Every structure is written in C-alpha cells, then in structure tokens.
Structure 1
Amino acid sequence: MASYKKIQANVDSNLALQAEGIFKDIGLNTTTAINVFLKKVVATGGIPFELKETPEQKATRDLVQTISKLPHKEAKSTKDIEDWLNED
C-alpha cells in the first residue's frame, strides 16, 4: 500500500487557473499533473526541461547592472532632492 505526502505550494492564482484549464483539456487534474512532473524529475535526475532567463529578464538584469555602475549621490533630505531637481 502506497503512503502519501501532502505537498502545499503557494502559486499565482491566475497561473493556477490557466494550468488547471490545460490539465483538464488533456484529461488530468492538478494532482495527477504534479505526480507526472515529480516522476519525470526522478526518472531524469533533474528538472525535465531547460530553465533559463528570457531575453526580457536578461535585458532587465543588464540594465540594472549598468545603472548600478553609474556615479550617484545619496539624497539624505528633501533639500538634497530639490537641489538635484533644480540642477542645470
């Protein structure tokens, strides 16, 4: 007799609804789909698909890195911000 372990995860509700619709279309429920995924992880010894950042994520990361290298002055008061805004 198989024993079961309850797994709980917090996911975006819209994402979950979209996935549930796809599972339903192919004749699965969410529990079965998760079991299929876990079995594939065990069979392949890892995540059964490639994980990499999207071009948009890479562009955002690159932009943040570039911006962080720009010289900057820390504003410690409202006056500092006003002075900065009024600079020519």
Structure 2
Amino acid sequence: MSKNVRIQVNLDAELVEQAEQILAQLGYSRTTAIRVFYSAIVAQRAFPIKAELAQPEEDKAMKEAIALMIKKIGKDNIRDATSDKELMKFIAEGGRESD
C-alpha cells in the first residue's frame, strides 16, 4: 500500500479562494486537483501546462506580420482571413503585401 505524503504550500489567499470556487463548481476538492496535477506530471513525464517564452525576435516578427496583415486585408475582414495556415504563409513570405 502506498504511503501518503503531506504537502504544504503558501499561496495568495485570493488565488486560493478563486480556484476553490471553480473547483467546487466542477465537483473537485483541492486534494483531488493537486492529485490530478501530479498524476499528469508523472503520466506525461513533463510539466502538464505549456509554459514557454517566445524569443523576443520571434515575438516582434509575429507582431509585425500581424500588423501588416491587418493593414493588407482591413480590420473589418480580419476574422475571415486569419486562419493559422494563411497567417503562417504570410509570415513565411516575409509579410510582403501582394496585390
């Protein structure tokens, strides 16, 4: 039989309150949430939440490409024209405006 270990953490009171309200609505206890989180770490052999920072030059290039695309197609039409595939093609072409 597995031995249980007690874990203690210090968290911001407001964060705990907000999280526990959501957990209660989902029907989970804080213990269950932590158990699920730790189980996901073991199952995935990784941190289960993607946490990465874009390289500053990549972030700048993406913002510039998006701004050019908005300029090219117009702000009102952006929803229809910004599929991931189309945006990546636009970026790959160097963000050049084509007519």
Q: Does the pair score TM above 0.5?
A: yes
CA distance in 2, matches of 1:52, 1:19: 23
CA distance in 2, matches of 1:31, 1:48: 17
> Secondary structure, in 3 states, of the residue corresponding to 2:20?
helix
- Please report the TM-score for the alignment, with normalisation by the length of structure 1: 0.57
- Please report the TM-score for the alignment, with normalisation by the length of structure 2: 0.51
CA distance in 1, matches of 2:26, 2:52: 26
CA deviation vs aligned residue, 1:15-66 (integer Å, no higher than 9, x gap) = 011110111011100011000000000000111111135xxxx8xxxxxxxx
Q: What's 1:46 paired with?
A: 46
More helix by share: 2
CA distance in 2, matches of 1:23, 1:35: 13
Structure 2 segments unaligned to the other structure (5+ residues) = 57-99
Aligned residues: 55
CA deviation vs aligned residue, 1:58-88 (integer Å, no higher than 9, x gap) = 8xxxxxxxxxxxxxxxxxxxxxxxxxxxxxx
Q: What's 1:35 paired with?
A: 35
Q: What's 1:24 paired with?
A: 24
**How far does residue 2 in structure 1 lie from its aligned partner after superposition?**
2.6
Cα RMSD (Å) of the superposition?
1.8
Structure 1 segments unaligned to the other structure (5+ residues) = 59-88
AA in 2 matched with 1:51: A
CA distance in 1, matches of 2:50, 2:35: 19
AA in 2 matched with 1:35: R
